[in-house]
């Protein structure tokens, strides 16, 4: 977990969260079928991290990005749709047990969806966002505060 007390800009914060989730998916992939309790715990941890991440993006980062330029509107719309698909899969995974059919497959598909989403954000949206007249430090602080609230309620 990053130090949420140290100010960080919005793009750095989201990128850090991307790396953390990627690392969790990699750990999940390496688990054996016998590690059911650990698998469930890690999958739930991944899901909670993604719920927090999508929430701060949708409540704070995306609106600021959309408001700053009309050029970002299609990109933000696409990201919101991708979030909706991921959230549907997250809800299914959280209701499941590692013994259930398709459990591992759903976690794998979620991982692939997130990889695609992260690549688009980091190669397209973030570079464009950095060019906008946004106070990324202030945005980052607001996002960190919201992150703490979400994590306290999980």
Residue pair 49/154 in contact (Cβ under 8 Å)? The answer is no
Which tokens is 143 given? 């996002």
* Total number of domains in the chain: 1
Residue 62 lies in a domain: yes
What are the pLDDT digits (tens) for 15-46?
999 999 999 999 999 999 889 999 999 999 99
DSSP state of 6: S
Residue 50 lies in a domain: yes
Residue 36 lies in a domain: yes
The C-alpha atoms of residue 79 and residue 18 are separated, in whole angstroms, by 14
CATH number at residue 121: 1.20.120.520
Query: Could you tell me the pTM of the whole model?
Result: 0.93
Give the domain range for residue 32.
10-153
The CA angle 47-145-6, to the nearest 5 degrees, is: 100
């Amino acid at each position: 977990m990053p130090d949420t007390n140290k100010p960080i800009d919005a793009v750095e914060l989201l990128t850090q969260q991307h790396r953390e989730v990627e690392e969790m998916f990699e750990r999940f992939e390496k688990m054996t079928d016998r590690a059911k309790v650990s698998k469930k715990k890690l999958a739930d941890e991944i899901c909670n991290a993604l719920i927090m991440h999508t929430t701060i993006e949708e409540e704070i980062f995306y609106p600021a990005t959309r408001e700053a330029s009309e050029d970002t509107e299609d990109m933000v719309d696409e990201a919101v749709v991708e979030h909706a698909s991921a959230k549907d899969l997250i809800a299914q995974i959280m209701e499941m047990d590692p013994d259930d059919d398709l459990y591992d497959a759903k976690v794998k598909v979620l991982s692939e969806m997130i990889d695609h989403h992260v690549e688009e954000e980091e190669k397209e949206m973030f570079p464009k966002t950095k060019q906008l007249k946004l106070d990324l430090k202030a945005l980052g602080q607001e996002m960190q505060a919201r992150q703490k609230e979400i994590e306290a309620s999980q």
